[in-house]
């Protein structure tokens, strides 16, 4: 009687880092373009431990070389279509090829990455109670009949086209996120990312900004795909990363558009790259690919009001910030 309960035996887990104030963050696709910039930003906070899981399909260890060996950083070669067992507090789920050349290369694999990969990350989030953010895409709006695109628009997407593995794949990924949220109470965040550019973009991934910058540096004609009047809105990668972190840390599930509303035709983009990087190059008109959306511009009212976010870097300021990185990787020094 009156015996004092013995103190609970110290659990080995209690002493593990998991129960300290550090935040453990998993970034899938962290060896890629946006992912590696996100990792750079997360690593600046000394309370963060970052685990990257990537299969290096379109990403590379090179993008993370400054962190390899860092005590708060871990890099795992892992394909998200396989189950993953780690203990984390937050998951930024980016793993998925983003450029048409790569996502069309093995479309079945692209769907598996979007569907099974997202399912696995949601299963992981459920098991460990982590908050999970999906990087969805403006492609869920397809060839939009509403302009600019706001989040309430359901889109105009071809379910059987060559882009469907990507845009329908992301649509299912969004559905899975909401079903895990409603059915299992998982904390979710969905970002709908619009075209993003910056250093570390894959040089030969066929995307318009990387193509034009590489062509301008090599002195080759800038290939504008017909008709050239189609529009896109380009967001600099530091603004994108800022938006993703605000979304993760905020209270809103989304989906929330993150992109720069400055809208340009591909001809205007070519003129701007020519002027800023190499006035001597020509601009040539070439054939386009099927299902190319004619216009795209985000309505970012939600990001603005709910996250206090807006992009800061204008296209004319961002493009020159890619030049040095591209020159180094292309081994073309600037003319003195
Ligand atoms: P990226 O291709 O540079 O990065 C994707 C990363 O995911 C790469 O490191 C790749 O190796 C990895 N990956 C691909 N499949 C994988 C798999 N099955 N398992 C593990 N890792 C895998 O592309 P990014 O531009 O950095 O895009 C990142 C995310 O943002 C993607 O989800 C993409 O859909 C989305 N997004 C990007 C843009 C953009 O303009 N860059 C626009 C809309 C959406
Ligand atoms: N999963 C995972 N890591 C975990 C927990 C689950 O990769 O830590 C995977 C699991 O293999 C499954 C998926 O996530 O394929 C969905 O898991 P969930 O528990 O929601 O569904 P179930 O396993 O009951 O089908
Ligand atoms: N585009 C172009 N020249 C190129 C590559 C692309 O004019 O060398 C055009 C393409 O037709 C599309 C736009 O640029 O209208 C954006 O293409 P990208 O593949 O970069 O992105 P997405 O189509 O996914 O928005």
pLDDT in tens, 308-335: 999 999 999 999 999 999 999 999 988 7
Gap between the Cα atoms of 114 and 284, Å rounded: 35
Query: For atom 34 of ligand 1, which residue has the closest CA?
Result: 98
Confidence of residue 336 (pLDDT cuts 50, 70, 90): low
Ligand nearest to the CA of 236: 1
Confidence of residue 285 (pLDDT cuts 50, 70, 90): very high
pLDDT in tens, 57-67: 999 999 999 99
What is the pLDDT, as a whole number, of residue 292? 83
Whole-number percent of the chain with pLDDT over 70 = 93
> Ligand 2 center to residue 215 CA distance, Å?
45
Query: For atom 19 of ligand 3, which residue has the closest CA?
Result: 207
Parallel/antiparallel/unpaired status of strands 231-233 and 263-265: antiparallel
On whether the CB atoms of residues 276 and 324 are closer than 8 A, the answer is no
155: left (phi over 0), alpha (psi -120 to 50) or beta: left
Tell whether the model's pLDDT for residue 186 goes beyond 90: yes
User: How long, in residues, is the chain?
Assistant: 336
Closest among 91, 92, 167 to 135, alpha carbons compared? 92
Ligand nearest to the CA of 137: 1
What is the DSSP code (8-state) at residue 260?
-
Around Cβ 127, how many Cβ atoms within 10 Å?
10
Gap between the Cα atoms of 30 and 16, Å rounded: 25
- Which of 27, 28, 30, 34 for mutating ligand 1's site (highest number of atoms within 8 Å of CB)? 34
Say which residues have a Cβ less than 8 Å from residue 160's Cβ, sequence separation at least 6. Answer: none
What is the pLDDT, as a whole number, of residue 4? 63
> Ligand 1 center to residue 39 CA distance, Å?
14
Q: DSSP 3-state assignment of 27? A: strand
> Ligand 1 center to residue 94 CA distance, Å?
5
Over the Cα atoms of the chain, what is R_g? 21
Ligand nearest to the CA of 86: 2
Stated pTM of the model: 0.93
- Torsion angles phi and psi, residue 268, rounded to 5: -60, -40
Confidence of residue 117 (pLDDT cuts 50, 70, 90): very high
Gap between the Cα atoms of 18 and 311, Å rounded: 34
Gap between the Cα atoms of 102 and 110, Å rounded: 9
Whole-number percent of the chain with pLDDT over 90 = 88
Sign of CA dihedral 287, 103, 324, 135: positive
What is the helix (H) or strand (E) element at residue 183, kind and residue range? helix 164-184
Average pLDDT over residues 241-250: 98
Confidence of residue 181 (pLDDT cuts 50, 70, 90): very high
Alpha helical stretches, state H, 205-265 = 208-218, 237-249
Gap between the Cα atoms of 259 and 110, Å rounded: 23
- C-alpha dihedral (321, 231, 152, 132), degrees to nearest 10: -30
Closest among 94, 92, 133 to 113, alpha carbons compared? 94
| pLDDT mean across residues, the chain | 93
C-beta 207 within 6 A of ligand 3: yes
C-beta 124 within 6 A of ligand 2: yes
> Ligand 3 center to residue 71 CA distance, Å?
40
What is the DSSP code (8-state) at residue 72?
T
> Ligand 1 center to residue 135 CA distance, Å?
9
Lowest average pLDDT, out of 11-20, 22-31, 204-213, 226-235, goes to 11-20
Q: DSSP 3-state assignment of 5? A: coil
Q: Please state the atom number of ligand 3 nearest to the C-alpha of residue 228.
A: 7
Q: Please state the atom number of ligand 1 nearest to the C-alpha of residue 202.
A: 3
Confidence of residue 11 (pLDDT cuts 50, 70, 90): very low
- Which of 51, 85, 120 for mutating ligand 2's site (highest number of atoms within 8 Å of CB)? 120
Lowest average pLDDT, out of 32-41, 71-80, 142-151, goes to 142-151
Around Cβ 269, how many Cβ atoms within 10 Å?
21
- Residues marked as catalytic: 166
> Ligand 3 center to residue 253 CA distance, Å?
30
Gap between the Cα atoms of 300 and 304, Å rounded: 6
Q: Please state the atom number of ligand 3 nearest to the C-alpha of residue 207.
A: 20
C-beta 100 within 6 A of ligand 3: yes
What is the pLDDT, as a whole number, of residue 334? 83
What is the pLDDT, as a whole number, of residue 227? 95
Tell whether the model's pLDDT for residue 141 goes beyond 70: yes
Average pLDDT over residues 199-210: 94
C-beta 132 within 6 A of ligand 2: no
Closest among 55, 59, 119 to 91, alpha carbons compared? 119
- Which of 96, 109, 209 for mutating ligand 1's site (highest number of atoms within 8 Å of CB)? 96
On whether the CB atoms of residues 260 and 222 are closer than 8 A, the answer is no
Q: What ipTM describes this predicted complex?
A: 0.97
Average pLDDT over residues 173-198: 98
């Amino acid at each position: 009687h009156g015996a004092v309960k013995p103190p609970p035996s110290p659990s080995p887990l209690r002493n593990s880092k998991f129960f300290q104030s550090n935040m453990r963050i998993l970034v899938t696709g962290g060896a890629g373009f946006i992912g590696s910039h996100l990792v750079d930003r997360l690593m600046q906070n000394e309370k963060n431990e970052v685990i990257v899981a990537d299969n290096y399909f379109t990403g590379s260890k090179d993008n993370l070389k400054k962190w390899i060996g860092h005590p708060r950083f871990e890099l795992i070669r892992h394909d998200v279509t396989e189950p993953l067992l780690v203990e984390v507090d937050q998951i930024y789920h980016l793993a998925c090829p983003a450029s048409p050349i790569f996502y069309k290369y093995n479309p079945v694999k692209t769907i598996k990455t979007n569907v099974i990969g997202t399912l696995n990350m949601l299963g992981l989030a459920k098991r460990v109670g982590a908050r999970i953010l999906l990087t969805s895409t403006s492609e869920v709006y397809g060839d939009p009949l509403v302009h600019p695109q706001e989040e309430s628009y359901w889109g105009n997407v071809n379910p059987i086209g060559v882009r469907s593995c990507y845009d329908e794949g992301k649509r299912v990924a969004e559905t899975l996120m909401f079903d895990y949220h409603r059915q299992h109470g998982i904390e979710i965040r969905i970002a709908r990312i619009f075209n993003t550019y910056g250093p570390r973009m894959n040089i030969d991934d066929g995307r318009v900004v990387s193509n034009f910058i590489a062509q301008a540096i090599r002195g080759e004609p800038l290939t504008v795909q017909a008709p050239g009047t189609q529009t896109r809105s380009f967001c600099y990668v530091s603004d994108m990363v800022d938006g993703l972190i605000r979304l993760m840390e905020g209270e809103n599930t989304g989906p929330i558009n993150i992109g720069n509303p400055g809208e340009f035709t591909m001809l205007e983009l070519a003129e701007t790259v020519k002027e800023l990087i190499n006035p001597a190059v020509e601009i040539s008109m070439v054939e386009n690919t099927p299902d190319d959306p004619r216009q795209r511009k985000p309505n970012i009212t939600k990001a603005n009001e709910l996250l206090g976010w807006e992009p800061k870097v204008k296209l004319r300021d961002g493009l020159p910030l890619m030049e040095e990185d591209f020159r180094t990787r292309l081994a073309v020094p600037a003319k003195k």
